[in-house]
Amino acid sequence: MEILFWSCLAFGVLMALATLFIGDLGGAFDFLPHDLFEPVVLAGGITIFGGAGLLLARYSAFQPGGIYACAAAAAALGGLAMHFVYVRPMKNSENSVAYSIRDLEGKRAEVITSIPAAGFGEVLVRVGAGNANHIAESFEKEALAEGTKVVVVRVKDDVLGVSRLD
């Protein structure tokens, strides 16, 4: 039992160090769903399982089954905590200027060049960490003045179809 816990502790530490210095180990974990099974979370869980198992075996009166169950519970809770406290906030903080024009559907925008009822104008859309301006037309075929708040309803031929935001 102690050999398993020492092995998990050592493997988890080595995996964490390898992930730190090499990255995601060349895509070795791409088969896992990356929402919850990030390599750093997996390494943390294995490390916590080994460490908790060693501590429980040495300092508790639990039987082996109880030790395994408690160590697994500690690993699951530690992995979840690591995911929600470290991994998810780090992913949310990543900014990129790359986007697809199809991603703009449903986004709010502001008219910066008036849009006539049967013509084109220009809107400013907040995308990622910056703003982008795009050619737009009125989806409902109504004139939209400069400064009007709109929402992108559709994207067709790289032209945004916008509607007044009420």
Instruction: Choose between 67 and 28: higher pLDDT.
Output: 67
Alpha carbons within 13 A on the beta-carbon side of 140: 10
Quote the DSSP letter at residue 97: S
* pLDDT for the residue 28: 60
* pLDDT for the residue 73: 96
Name the band, by pLDDT with cuts 50, 70 and 90, for residue 1. Answer: confident
Place of tokens 């750093």: 40
pLDDT surpassing 80 at residue 19: no
Is residue 138 within 8 A of residue 148, CB to CB? The reply is: no
pLDDT surpassing 90 at residue 20: no
Note the pTM of the prediction, 2 decimals. 0.52
* 78-135 pLDDT, tens digit each: 988 988 888 788 777 766 667 788 889 999 999 999 999 999 999 999 887 788 999 9
* pLDDT for the residue 94: 60
CATH of segment(s) 101-164: 2.40.50.140
148-154-159-164 Cα dihedral, nearest 10 degrees: -10
- Amino acid occupying residue 9: L
Name the band, by pLDDT with cuts 50, 70 and 90, for residue 152. Answer: very high
Is residue 13 within 8 A of residue 58, CB to CB? The reply is: no
In angstroms, the CA 140 to CA 41 distance is 49
* 34-88 pLDDT, tens digit each: 555 677 788 889 999 999 999 999 999 999 999 999 999 999 999 889 888 887 8
pLDDT surpassing 90 at residue 25: no
pLDDT surpassing 90 at residue 148: yes
- Amino acid occupying residue 165: L
Domain limits, CATH 2.40.50.140, in the chain? 101-164
In angstroms, the CA 1 to CA 160 distance is 63
Tell me the CA distances in angstroms from 58 to 49, 83, 95, 130, 161, one per residue in order: 14, 28, 46, 55, 67
